[in-house]
Structure 1
Amino acid sequence: MLAAPYARFIDPLSDFGFKRLFGTEANKDLLIDFLNELLAGERTIRDLTYNQNESAGQRPVDRKAIFDLCCTGADGEQFIIEVQRVKQKFFKDRCLYYAASLIRDQVKTGEPDWGYELKPVYLIGLMEFTFEGARPNEYIHHIRLTSKEESTVFYDKFGFTFIEIPAFSKTESELVTGLDRWLYLLKNLSNLNHVPTVLSKPVFDKVLRIAEVCNFNQQEKMAWDAYLKAKWDNENSMKYVKEEAWETGLKEGREAGLEKGREEGRREEKLVVARSMKAKGFELQTIIEILGLTREEIEQA
């Protein structure tokens, strides 16, 4: 969901908003709280260290993996957080490549005694679209390596969690858990005019304070204005392209229809002539050569 022009709060799923809320050392408590709510019962994050947002590979020819956000927990577990606003054909493939690159990078060249012990790697995908075939009201997908026969976790140190933001439909009165409140905030923050009482909690107070545009300094305000201008320019460009494509499609469709009609008319005329020639005793092969119809068309005329 995109922020309305001059909204009170920034869009938390924009690159600007996401990095402002979750991508700085000063605000890592927000990311820790969100991840602990998301992975409750599976993992507890005590602290986070922000890493560089790319994996360069072990060889110069390896392709870089550039993340939205990458961090390491106090126990060595690694997290990639990706925001994907539009549906992408190979989104799942890219997520797998990103997560696998962190596993690969745990092996340092020149370590002959490495015993293959890996630290956990998790990728969190915040999506502004839904997977095809997803069931209604199913907005979180926890993907883990499991045994097909027993449906039990085979390996617990490699996983993906995908959140379909558009599929989260709970209202203020339906928010029960901390994760409910986080998802409601991520989906609706840029459209809020007042702060719901259900978000009256220190962690959300901090989110709202950071996200409120009136609290920006001059440099931050200029950066936000630049983001909005780029977003509006992009939306207008996409609208123009779609309208042009629509008009072109309509024109081509009309022309194709007219041409098809002309072709059908010419064929019908030939069939009328063929019937007349047959009635006058013309040989079948002669009619074929003159009109260019098939034997079957002439026989059925």
Structure 2
Amino acid sequence: MAKKLVRFDWAIKKLLRHKANFTILEGFLTELLKFEVTIESILEGEGNKEEVNDKYNRVDILVKSVTGELMLVEVQNESQVDYFQRMVYGASKLITEYIKEGEPYGAIKKVYSINIVYFGLGQGKDYIYEYDGKFVGIHYGDILQPTLTQKDTFHVKEIKDIFPKYYVLKVNNFDDVAKNTLDEWVYFLKNSEVKDDFRARGLKEVKEKLKEDTLTEEELIAYKRFQENRRIERSEIETALIEGEEKGMEKGMGIVIKVYQMHKEGGKASEIAEIVSMPVAEVEEIIKNFT
């Protein structure tokens, strides 16, 4: 029987900051970013403060690579309507915080914003999204390129290499069929399980170091409390959906409740969408978030 593994978000908070466990994060980042990542240090992210109730709606870990890139890995469990804006804010804050006063702008390092979300962020059926910005000419459609001097000075091939790069992993959209090594990581993120035939970088270390039975007594107590808090939070969401109107929630939540109830009664997304006058995609997102 496979050993139980702890969730990745809890591991970020408690285990992955230790140098002995850097290989786990290095493996994940290497698989996602498609280049070799070696961690120089773990810096402090804004979601790392200890909380009395030990809740983990959001955790993050800020990595500095040996080549100077900043990589912010963030896990968000519950829906947040302005999450895209927070992604922009987080990357921008890193740029300003990690350039010393008086340094030239050329000292700014590449920032990667990696967001692992367990809710329906935006509309889209894929489970991995990559934002790779380019400057496109509005008249000729050409891509703005750096000069030879800029390429040599800043060691870039394209202008987009200077700007922050964003990734969104919509874990709940994954169908549990791992077609490649990155999918193997997504499978672990969704199920807290590593199959015996998985070969992705870092997952061997996950199986060895993130087992529940290797936790100290104090860590195990904290992890069990974390799991219980997650169950309570989920129950609170379900209760809010059912009792939302009488609890004075916003009018829009009434539609969400109606969709949820119609789905529970066997209604198809297309039928529900017609009844409540909503796009089918939005109905599907509501169903996905609360089933």
TM-score, length-scaled by structure 1: 0.64
Query: What is the distance in 1 between the residues matched to 2:212 and 2:179?
Result: 28
Query: What is the distance in 2 between the residues matched to 1:85 and 1:206?
Result: 24
* Equivalent in the alignment of 1:154: 159
Amino acid at match of 1:154: I
Amino acid at match of 1:33: G
Q: Alignment partner of 1:197: what SS?
A: coil
CA contact (8 A) 1:21 1:27 kept: yes
CA contact (8 A) 1:81 1:123 kept: yes
Aligned length: 220
Query: What is the distance in 2 between the residues matched to 1:108 and 1:67?
Result: 26
Query: What is the distance in 1 between the residues matched to 2:105 and 2:80?
Result: 37
Q: Alignment partner of 1:142: what SS?
A: strand
- The answer for unaligned runs of 5 or more in structure 2 is 48-57, 145-157, 249-253, 255-291
Query: What is the distance in 2 between the residues matched to 1:115 and 1:87?
Result: 36
* Equivalent in the alignment of 1:180: 183
Query: What is the distance in 2 between the residues matched to 1:88 and 1:108?
Result: 32
- The answer for unaligned runs of 5 or more in structure 1 is 1-6, 56-65, 254-301
Residue 21 of structure 1: how far off its partner (Å): 5.1
Q: Does 1:30 align with 2:24?
A: yes
Q: Does 1:169 align with 2:166?
A: no
CA contact (8 A) 1:125 1:162 kept: yes
Q: Alignment partner of 2:30: what SS?
A: helix
* Cα separation, partners in 2 of 1:106 and 1:9, compared to 1, 3 Å: closer
* Equivalent in the alignment of 1:285: none
Q: Does 1:12 align with 2:8?
A: yes
Q: Alignment identity in percent? A: 22
* Cα separation, partners in 2 of 1:239 and 1:130, compared to 1, 3 Å: closer
Looking at CA atoms only, which structure, 1 or 2, has the larger radius of gyration? Answer: 1
Q: Alignment partner of 1:116: what SS?
A: helix
CA contact (8 A) 1:127 1:163 kept: yes
CA contact (8 A) 2:127 2:171 kept: yes
* Equivalent in the alignment of 1:73: 65
Amino acid at match of 1:199: F
User: Residue by residue, what CA displacement relative to the aligned partner does 1:86-121 show, whole Å, maximum 9, x if unpaired?
Assistant: 221110110111101111123323x2x635332111
CA contact (8 A) 1:87 1:129 kept: yes
CA contact (8 A) 1:28 1:48 kept: no
User: Residue by residue, what CA displacement relative to the aligned partner does 1:242-300 show, whole Å, maximum 9, x if unpaired?
Assistant: 33226679xxx9xxxxxxxxxxxxxxxxxxxxxxxxxxxxxxxxxxxxxxxxxxxxxxx
TM-score, length-scaled by structure 2: 0.66
Q: Alignment partner of 2:244: what SS?
A: helix
Higher RCO structure (Cα 8 Å, ≥6 apart)? 2
* Aligned-pair Cα RMSD in Å: 3.0
* Cα separation, partners in 2 of 1:236 and 1:122, compared to 1, 3 Å: same
Q: Alignment partner of 1:119: what SS?
A: coil
Q: Does 1:121 align with 2:128?
A: no
